[in-house]
Structures are given as structure tokens and as C-alpha cells.
Amino acid sequence: MTSWRLVIHGGCGAMRLRPEEERAGLAGLNDALDAGSRLLHRGGSAIDAVEAAARVLEDDPAFNAGRGSVLAHDGHIELDAAIMDGRSRSAGAVAGLRRVRSPISAARAVMENSPHVLLSFGGAEEFAREQGLESVDPSWFEIPERRGQLERVLKSGGGFDADVKFGTIGAVAVDVHGHVAAATSTGGLTAKRWGRIGDSPLIGAGTYADDRAAAVSATGSGEYFIRAAAAHEVAARIRMLGESLQQAIDAVLQDIQSLGGTGGLIGVSPDGDAAWGFTTAGMYRGRADAEGREVAVHGAAT
């Protein structure tokens, strides 16, 4: 038996947070660790645990996923998510959802109940409806603060700025059977346009899980994570270069930085190793195992 482990993130960035914002984020991380740990502790699967943890963070307005997601250029919210099971490398993903309450569960339904990996926009919405997943009015996802953020970004001409906080959420887990899984869910980037899809729902970019190496979830400037095939690259470095999980995460983040991107990665390996890293000032992050737990936002990256 392996020892179970769960690692989560709630996005990274400059993290200049008001005390009440920071408290709300840390409380959300603890709730998500509770949901995932409960399952793993009683022998549940990594895939169930990452979905459970992600669903809690999606419903929490402190994060840019599900409720509380950022607004696109036209003021709408479009949600992306992916999930992957390291046992079989089965994967499911959705992009551009506007009404499905839990994009991560829609991604899981794509993985389990469709022959496809990635569904987008109207088709993904229709599939989720057919699967009986809960729909909400798009206004349910919106919190007032995000409207102000969009206005600020539009006024400044758009694009990334130093104050940006990537609030995407992710979870990776290894269960007592040594299987790994990864989940990532996001509203993407504030003021995104033209049906932009980021790294989060792209298998191999923002999300990857392989029992031969690791489960990985990303947050940060998605375009760079796509170009680096970041999550897959972590797994590939472990498998082919024999690097440790931490070495592989650090190397991939360095590579992304050399391209001009910033962000963070979390990972677990089938032998129970857990690691994280980020090249921003902070990252909402947490980890739990049978011995205890830790949540943090500032401080050292490893």
C-alpha cells in the first residue's frame, strides 16, 4: 500500500491580497483538502478525490473557477476544465462552458461517457445537459469584484500585468493503490477574446496524469504553458531523464520563464512523492496526507 497524498492549488500571481481575501482563500483550500482527504483516507480513488476537491474550489468565489470566475472581454464567463486518470491515461475536458455548475464533473463525464477527450462551447453544454449535470443561470458565476477587474484591464489596454492573480484551481492525488489523477478548472484570463482556450483544459499543457510518472496541474500564463507542454513535460522528464518530481517541476518552470511566462505547478508521483513550485510572488496551495496538512499562499516556492 502507498500512502495517499493530495495536493491542490488555487492559482498564483502577485498575491497582494487583503487580509479577508487571504483568509477566505486559505479557508477554501482547507475545505477542498477535507473533501479530497476524506475519500483518500478511506481507500477511495485518486480520480474521485481530485474531482471532489475541485468541485469545492469551483463553488468557492475566492477562486477563478466555477463561481467567482473572471470575465471575458465581452463580459461573459467561459469555463474550462480537464481531468485525467493516471491508471489508463483516460482523460476528459471541456472548454467555453457558460451554464454548467461544475465544469470538472462535465470533464469527467466526457472522459467516462463519451468517445472524445475535449468538447467545447455549445456542444459541450449540450453534452453536459444530456448527462443530467446541473445547469445554473450564467449570473450565478459572477461576483461584483470581477466586473471591476475587467474594467481595469480594458482601461489599461488589456494584456497581462504585474498585479495579475491567476486564480485557476487544481488538484492532484495519489491513492493507497499508487494510482494518480489530476484535475484543473478555470475561468481563464480576464478579458480573454475570440473563444480563447488556455492551458487548463488541454491535456499535457495544464493537466496530465500518468501512473508511470506523475499527476500534474498548472496555473499561470496559459499560452506559455501550452507552448511548453508543461504538465506532460514534467511527467516526461521523470520518466525519461530520471528526475525527481521537484527537479522536473523546477526545470519546466524555468523553461517557461525563459519563454517569458510565469506560473506554478503542483504534482504527486505514484510512489507518494508530492511537490510544488511557482515563479510568481505566491501561490494558493495546500497538501494533505495521513500525517497532516499544510496550506499557504506566500513564502518559498518549494
**Rounded Cα distance, 52 and 242, in Å:** 31
**Rounded Cα distance, 201 and 121, in Å:** 13
Question: Of 10, 11, 44, 92, which one interacts with ligand ASP (CB under 6 A)?
Answer: 11
Question: Of 69, 105, 190, 200, which one interacts with ligand ASP (CB under 6 A)?
Answer: 200
Of 118-126, 208-216, 217-225, 277-285, the segment contacting ligand ASP by CB under 6 A is 217-225
Of 37-45, 90-98, 162-170, 243-251, the segment contacting ligand ASP by CB under 6 A is 162-170
Give me the least distance between CB of 196 and ligand ASP, in Å please. Answer: 8
- Tell whether residue 168 is a contact of ligand ASP (CB under 6 A): yes
- Tell whether residue 219 is a contact of ligand ASP (CB under 6 A): yes
Of 107-115, 138-146, 197-205, 230-238, the segment contacting ligand ASP by CB under 6 A is 197-205
Question: Of 44, 68, 103, 220, which one interacts with ligand ASP (CB under 6 A)?
Answer: 220
Of 93-101, 105-113, 196-204, 246-254, the segment contacting ligand ASP by CB under 6 A is 196-204
Of 44 and 198, the one with the shorter C-beta distance to ligand ASP is: 198
**Is residue 168 annotated as part of the catalytic site, yes or no?**
yes
- Tell whether residue 167 is a contact of ligand ASP (CB under 6 A): yes
**Rounded Cα distance, 82 and 95, in Å:** 9
> Site map for ligand ASP, 222-261, x if CB under 6 A?
x---------------------------------------
- Tell whether residue 267 is a contact of ligand ASP (CB under 6 A): no
Please give the positions annotated as active site.
Answer: 168
User: Which residues contact ligand ASP (rule: CB under 6 A)?
Assistant: 11, 64, 166-168, 186, 188-189, 198-200, 206, 219-220, 222
